[in-house]
Amino acid sequence: MSMMKREVAWRIFADEFNNSTLEAGGESERSPSYVVTPLGAMVNRIYVVGVLTEVENRGTPEEPMWLARVSDPTGTFFISAGQFQPEVATVLSNLEPPIFVAVVGKTNIYRPDEETVLTSIRAETVKEVDEDQRNYWILEASKGMKNRLEASAEASKMEEVSTQELIDLGYDTKIAEGIKKASEHYDNINFERYYSILNDSLRYVLPEYERRAELNRSEKKGTDSSLLETITETMKSMESETDNEDGVEYEEVRDTVIESEGITMSEFDEAVTELMRQGKMREPALGYLKLTL
């Protein structure tokens, strides 16, 4: 009896992964299922490296359900590990944010209602790493995104996207198949936006980036409280317009604040983490934020 080939763990930025709304199954019951990203990555397993910003046991000591947030330069991955991943649960219980971590896990799409789609990762392994490993991961994720962007751009020129034509152009079969599926599901891919994300991410690995970031942090110390206030007021407005007991969707708040304030995703994540640290905000459900005021 033949053994099923183990799926490769993709290196993908949070922004691309979190904007995925398509699931694709295999040809048989035993075939793996995939989350298909807007740029055509067919992801069953994923490998991410970023900053662990929050970890919490939403279950009990006997039946734990650990939820964690890991941020990369583009956004935040939502990680889970329950009683069936005891080793991962033990590791998470001993980690103190903020630290760099590497996570390997299975991808998942959750639909709490007809209009909401949330992505998450069921962790298989979690370990603490250093900044060099984070930077190497950014390079690998950037290479993959660039390749998919170029392939997707070629596909956009075709009257009807052809897997074989993409293969003939030199692209991997899996990429070609994924782009074909993505083209049939996603509308109007904003290539300029993804190239901007790619360029911004690569700045993290330049030697001068950290010096610029440190300078920016020093210059912005006086405006931090203003950003926290803006997020709080935005949340108040959104919560008044929803009857969802879990609060407001994280991505909806993030996109609104980023557009109005002109900040980066990382700056938004840092501000939300600070509000949670101050006890002014919590995450009652995966992908949702709620004020505690």
The DSSP-derived string for 27-69 is SSTTSPPEEEPTT--EESEEEEEEEEEEEEE-S-SSS-EEEEE
Residue 41: predicted pLDDT:
93
Amino acid 98: pLDDT = 85
Identify any residues that bridge with 69 across adjacent strands, giving them in sequence order. 54, 78
Cβ pair 32, 94 in contact under 8 A:
no
* pLDDT score, position 48: 96
Q: Are 118 and 109 a contacting pair, CB within 8 Å?
A: yes
Supply the pLDDT for residue 131: 85
> Taking a C-beta distance cutoff of 8 angstroms, is the pair 37, 18 a contact?
no
First and final CA of the chain: distance in angstroms?
60
- Provide the whole-model pTM: 0.70
Which helix (H) or strand (E) segment holds residue 171: the answer is none
Report the pLDDT value the prediction gives residue 117, as an integer from 0 to 100: 85
The closest alpha carbon to 270, from 288, 285, 257, belongs to 257
Q: How are strands ordered across the β-sheet holding 281-282? A: 248-249, 288-291, 281-282
What does the alpha-carbon distance between residue 238 and residue 233 come to, in Å, rounded to a whole number? 9
Q: Name the CA dihedral angle for 208, 214, 218, 220, rounded to a multiple of 10 degrees.
A: 90
Over the chain (293 residues), the average pLDDT of each successive run of 10 is 59 94 72 88 93 86 85 90 83 88 92 83 92 90 93 91 92 91 90 88 69 47 71 92 85 88 80 76 76 75
Other Cβ atoms closer than 10 A to 10: 23
C-alpha dist (Å) from residue 223 to 73, 78, 220, 227, 280: 21, 28, 5, 6, 18
Strand partners, 76: 71
Residue 114, CB half-sphere, CA atoms under 13 Å: how many?
0
Q: What is the DSSP letter of 4?
A: P
pLDDT of residue 32: 77
